[in-house]
Structure formats: structure tokens, C-alpha cells
Amino acid sequence: MRLDFPTANRALLGDKPEAFFMGVDRGGSRVWQGGSFGFTRAPLLHEGGEIFTQFHEGTDIAPVERAADGTPLDEVRAMADGTVVFREERGGSGYGNQVLLRHDWDCGPVFTRYAHLSSVAVAPGERVRRGQKLGVLGSSGGRFEAARAHLHAEAALMLSTAEAAPARYESMNMAALNLEDLLRASQNGVLDISAHARALPVDFIIETPRTGRPGLLRRHPWLEAAAHGGPAAGWRIHFTAWGFPARFEPLSEKPAAEQVTWVRPWTGLHTWRTRQMLTGQGASAQIGPRGEVLLGLVFAADGGTPEPLR
């Protein structure tokens, strides 16, 4: 399995990232890093240095072809064979005109998003081939001028399939992967989603007495650290800073409460670097409101109702 670039812009593979990423305007200049994946936006000064507190789930790819009036002309293409599972035009989300594809691979279903399109060329349910035109790059849905038109592209696993569309396709329900790393790996002909996810850096661990087996594990059993002889008495989940559940450990003894059992210590507030999924500071952390939402999505039952704590 592999992913192709979604537009003609392949500058990611060179030494000029400013030619690939459509950055954000900051302090009178355009900073290309703001268009890359990760905590790359909303800077704060902390202990004499600059940190970034806003997470960007995708990759903003700059156009390479414009008309005389500046209108982008770049075709947006499917990164792999897949099925159109969602199309939005003139919707209320910040994604604007967008398309989501589902790719059924050996590792389980992987989703790719193509957002801010000026036009959409495919319909829900349609099977598409790698390289097939999905639409045209644009600036729909965003609070940015046409000069910053770009393709916002994502790759992710879906946490809960029980949510009704379009809620199931909102960013909180999509466990984001670094598309830039996946595109680079694909150039070598080897893209191992499971190995990539297992190698992600863990930033906090939560133990929960919820006993249900998350649907995410049924779709992606490689996320489970080790098989358990019987029903789990609870779960220990290893999360990245942005909330990707990189590893699940079934527990043989029920935890007394749902709580953070480990967090990467630092001197700042944990809300700054966990998308407000945690609260606290230093070596002490608690589950924040967004963390509760995240756990609810991970343990959502087939009917869409989160499993209650027991």
C-alpha cells in the first residue's frame, strides 16, 4: 500500500519546504511551518522560548498553477484507490468543500480528507482510482484570502463509526496521522501504517475501568499490545500529545477510577500541548473536557452511546 501526492506539488521531497507548504501569516510574514502537521500554530512565550499550542491535523499544500487573475488551477487527486464516503459543499464546517475517501487496506480502514476545494468532481459511494480527479484546489470554508488558497489534506483512523454523518467525519473523531511522513515513506515503496502508528511518541497514559472492547481495536487489532485470556477488567491506553490512541493494554484488574497514570512532565500547562485533553502541570495531570470526549468516542457502543463507567 502507498499514498501518492494529491496534487502536482511534490516539493516536500526537496529542500525547499516553503514551496510545498502554504504557511500562515504571522507578524507580517508567511511562516511555512504553520502549514505542516502538528503543533505549529498559536505561539506562546514560555520560559524565554516559543511554544505552539494549536494543533494542525493536516498538511496545507500550496498550489503550483494559477490563472492570470491568481485563481488556483491545480487538480486534486485521490492519493490511493478508495470509496467516497463523504462530500460536503457550502457546508458550515471550516473545511469548506471537501471529500473524504475510505481506503480498505490490510491494516484496516484508513481515511483521507481533501478540503478547501473550489469544486468537487465525485459523489458519495463512488469508487475512485489512485490519481483520479476529486476536484480543484481552492479557498472555500476558511478564513483566509485567495492568495493563501491551498489543499488541506489529512490521513486518519476513525475512532467511532457509530456517529451519524457528518459528525463521524469531524476532526475530533478522526485520529490523525502525519500525512507528510506517510507520503515520504510511500516514495520508498513501503508504507506500514501499523508500524508508523506504534512508533508514535506517547505523551500520556490513561487507565479506565471501562470494559467494552473498543470498535477501533476490532478494525485495527494491531493497536492492542498483547492478547488477553478473557474479558478485560479495564484498559490502559497510550496517547500521543494530539490524542492518537497508539496502544491499548487490557488489564486483568479493574482500576479504581479513570485517571491519568503517566504524563510526560514539563513546566508548562498540559492544556497547551494536549489540545486541552489534559489539565494540570508538570508531573501532575487530570483528564480534561476534550479528554472525556475523546474517551467517549473510543468507547462508543454501536448505538453511539459511550460505555458508562462502572
pLDDT tens by residue, 19-32: 999 988 887 778 88
Cis before 166? omega within 30:
yes
Specify if 6 maps to a domain.
Answer: no
Cβ-based neighbours of 92, under 8 Å, separated by 6 or more: none
Enclosing domain of residue 29: 11-186
Query: Could you tell me if 50 and 171 lie in one domain?
Result: yes
Structure confidence at residue 308 (pLDDT): 55
Q: Lowest mean pLDDT of 60-69, 123-132, 154-163, 301-310, name the range.
A: 301-310
Specify if 306 maps to a domain.
Answer: no
The burial class, CB within 10 Å (0-12 / 13-18 / 19+), for 266 is middle
Rounded CA-CA distance 55/34 in Å is: 10
Taking 70 as the threshold, does the pLDDT of residue 306 lie above it?
A: no
Rounded CA-CA distance 277/181 in Å is: 24
Query: Could you tell me if 128 and 162 lie in one domain?
Result: yes
Query: Could you tell me if 43 and 105 lie in one domain?
Result: yes
The burial class, CB within 10 Å (0-12 / 13-18 / 19+), for 142 is middle
Taking 90 as the threshold, does the pLDDT of residue 226 lie above it?
A: no
Query: Could you tell me if 220 and 143 lie in one domain?
Result: no
CA angle (15, 16, 17) in 5-degree steps: 105
Query: Could you tell me if 116 and 32 lie in one domain?
Result: yes
Structure confidence at residue 47 (pLDDT): 80
Query: Could you tell me if 19 and 168 lie in one domain?
Result: yes
**Domain termination residue (choose one: 129, 158, 186):** 186
Specify if 132 maps to a domain.
Answer: yes
Query: Could you tell me if 154 and 213 lie in one domain?
Result: no
Contact predicate 273/291, CB 8 Å: no
Query: Could you tell me if 151 and 257 lie in one domain?
Result: no
164 falls in which pLDDT band (50, 70, 90)?
A: confident
286 falls in which pLDDT band (50, 70, 90)?
A: very high
pLDDT in tens, 117-136: 999 999 999 999 999 999 99
**Domain termination residue (choose one: 186, 215, 240):** 186
Query: Could you tell me if 165 and 221 lie in one domain?
Result: no
290 falls in which pLDDT band (50, 70, 90)?
A: very high
305 falls in which pLDDT band (50, 70, 90)?
A: low
Higher-confidence residue of 283 and 309: namely 283
Taking 70 as the threshold, does the pLDDT of residue 229 lie above it?
A: no
Query: Could you tell me if 131 and 221 lie in one domain?
Result: no
Query: Could you tell me if 42 and 80 lie in one domain?
Result: yes
Structure confidence at residue 243 (pLDDT): 96
pLDDT in tens, 69-107: 999 999 999 999 999 999 998 777 789 999 999 999 999
Cell numbers 498553477 correspond to: 65
The arithmetic mean of pLDDT across residues 267-276, rounded, is 92
Specify if 55 maps to a domain.
Answer: yes
CATH of the domain at 63: 2.70.70.10
Count of domains in the chain?
2
Specify if 67 maps to a domain.
Answer: yes
**Domain termination residue (choose one: 160, 186, 212):** 186
SS3 category, 262: strand
301 falls in which pLDDT band (50, 70, 90)?
A: low
36 falls in which pLDDT band (50, 70, 90)?
A: very high
The arithmetic mean of pLDDT across residues 281-309, rounded, is 82
Cβ-based neighbours of 153, under 8 Å, separated by 6 or more: 6, 58, 59, 61, 79, 112, 113, 114, 115, 179
Specify if 308 maps to a domain.
Answer: no
Taking 80 as the threshold, does the pLDDT of residue 142 lie above it?
A: no
Contact predicate 218/158, CB 8 Å: no
The DSSP string of 147-158 is GG-BEEEEEEEE
Cβ-based neighbours of 59, under 8 Å, separated by 6 or more: 21, 35, 36, 37, 152, 153, 154, 179, 180
Specify if 3 maps to a domain.
Answer: no
Contact predicate 248/223, CB 8 Å: yes
Taking 70 as the threshold, does the pLDDT of residue 310 lie above it?
A: no
Query: Could you tell me if 143 and 65 lie in one domain?
Result: yes
Cell numbers 460536503 correspond to: 88
